[in-house]
Amino acid sequence: MIWIALVLLLFILQMAFVIFSEYQRPNKTVVWLIVLYIFPIIGFLLYLFLAKEYMCSPAPSQEQNREWNRIKADLMERCRQRIRKNHHGETIGQDDDLHALLSGIPVAPITACNETMVFSEGEGAFEAMLSSIAASEHHIHIEFYIIRDDRLGTRFEQLLIRKAQEGVHVRLLFDGIGSRQLGKTFLKRLRDAGVETGCFFPLLASFMNKRINYRNHRKIVVVDGKTGFFGGLNIGDEYLGEDPKLGYWRDTHFSIKGDAVLWLQFTFLTDWHRVTGQIIADSAYYPIQESQGKELVQVVKSGPDETMLEIIFSLIVTAKKRILIETPYFILEPGVFLALKTAILRGVDVHVIIPGVPDKHLVYTATLSYVQELLRAGVRFYSYQKGFIHAKVIISDDLAFSGSANMDIRSFCNQFEINALFYDGKVVNRLVDDFYRDLGESEEILQSKFEKRNALQKMQVVFARLLSPLF
């Protein structure tokens, strides 16, 4: 009997520990209690290694913070001057309250004089990146969640080696979990040629430091501080549609020139400092932008310590006519879920495109649980049939928000992401055209589909939904 009492006491202590640690996040508290109930010991170990709150380590010194604040203040002042000079008196956005929120984001100013090109698939985007890298004269900064040592990865590798040998400063960042299959030989060849590399959250160190649940999901290329690329693509042959299981790969990626590039650069260099400890503050990395474009763009970076939830929520609750969403994963935070239901009640048309062919079955099953509930509310969902849709786009009336962030809790809370708000009609219209082209290659998901599921499928959806706050 004493052993039963001790086991019961241990179980109660584990539950109490989770409750007191997670009381500010009740939705996750419930999930972890369920995991503990099903897997009493293993569940607690999983909690210790996966649920730790993110803390920057090592924390920047006061001197380092002052240096970054100086750089940021200088960039913000430069952007404000260009806004005043080129867009004086213009109204930005669709709602005064939304405009006040977006303009007030302290680390993401609205930038002027931008020129954006939208890519809807990998081939054109990668050719543009490789062409820009080949023409570089001073530096190349590359940051991706996934880099593979395959045919496409080899093209990047060989070009970076050549540019480094020409005397161009080349720096490469990759995520330790996303790029866990990237071999040491690949990196050695780069380093031997003079390419500087850094791993964001190495796999073993992340496990030991209890950071295994955090990722750097950003995809950034900056060339000479004047041309930037960002969006949903990683470096791998599957992003060219060469995965036999997923087939055609539909994505959204951007190239950009103008003041927005300064903030892509700032994001990369702060990540570089986080990984290597180096502060690169030379003005050559923040050149005067030569672009004479007319677009207003707002680059928004986020992570475990600064989310973009407020922006996504605000775009939904201020929409008056339409909300168009494309996302490979659809796992919603409660506030965003409620905002979408409320938008329907206000008479807003809400259309969402998700994959017809999933790449992660558990996440897709959880997605279907949100789909089912929102179908009842009046949201219209479509499954993409041409291949795999990896595009991450939110269109709210005449604004568009796109980049690396998925419409899921992991992107909202646990991953380092980079997105941008587009205010220009040409860019927004292009994304709208892409959306409706994708809609033509999709099948509408009807409520009757869910009524035909058997008991096992229904149980899988329930289980996946319960675990969804951890995805």
Read off the pLDDT band of 287 (50, 70, 90). Answer: very high
Residue 393, pLDDT > 70, answer yes
pLDDT for position 12: 65
Per the annotation, the verdict on 74 as an active-site residue is: no
Give me the catalytic one of 392, 408, 424, 438: 392
pLDDT for position 239: 96
Give me the catalytic one of 217, 257, 301, 351: 217
Burial class (CB in 10 A: 0-12, 13-18, 19+), 221: buried
- Domain boundaries in the chain? 2-50, 62-99+106-298, 309-413+421-470
CATH class of the domain comprising 309-413+421-470: alpha beta
Give me the catalytic one of 390, 424, 434, 438: 390
pLDDT for position 444: 96
Measure the CA–CA gap between 353 and 363, rounded to whole angstroms.
15
pLDDT for position 214: 79
Dihedral of CA atoms 33, 178, 441, 392 in degrees, nearest 10, equals 70
Per the annotation, the verdict on 294 as an active-site residue is: no
Q: What is the mean pLDDT of residues 436-456?
A: 87
Does domain 62-99+106-298 fall into CATH 3.30.870.10? yes
Residue 419, pLDDT > 70, answer yes
Q: Are domains 62-99+106-298 and 309-413+421-470 of this chain identical in fold?
A: yes
Q: What is the pLDDT of residues 20-76, one digit of tens each?
A: 665 556 566 666 666 666 767 666 666 666 655 555 556 667 788 888 889 888 998
Enclosing H/E stretch for 248: strand 248-257
Give me the catalytic one of 397, 398, 434, 438: 397
Per the annotation, the verdict on 88 as an active-site residue is: no
Give me the catalytic one of 141, 163, 169, 219: 219
Per the annotation, the verdict on 253 as an active-site residue is: no
Give me the catalytic one of 95, 175, 224, 271: 224
DSSP 155-171: HHHHHHHHHHHTT-EEE
Q: What is the pLDDT of residues 171-207, one digit of tens each?
A: 999 999 999 989 889 999 999 999 999 998 886 655 5
**What average pLDDT does the chain have?**
86
- Which one has a higher pLDDT value, 128 or 181? 128
Q: What is the pLDDT of residues 131-155, one digit of tens each?
A: 999 999 999 999 999 999 999 999 9
Dihedral of CA atoms 364, 366, 367, 368 in degrees, nearest 10, equals 90
Per the annotation, the verdict on 397 as an active-site residue is: yes
Range name among 6-20, 62-76, 319-333, 379-393 with the lowest pLDDT average = 6-20
Burial class (CB in 10 A: 0-12, 13-18, 19+), 230: buried
pLDDT for position 401: 97
On whether the CB atoms of residues 251 and 438 are closer than 8 A, the answer is no
Measure the CA–CA gap between 243 and 257, rounded to whole angstroms.
32
Residue 384, pLDDT > 80, answer yes
Range name among 181-185, 193-197, 338-342, 416-420 with the lowest pLDDT average = 181-185
Per the annotation, the verdict on 390 as an active-site residue is: yes
| pTM greater than 0.75 (yes/no) | yes
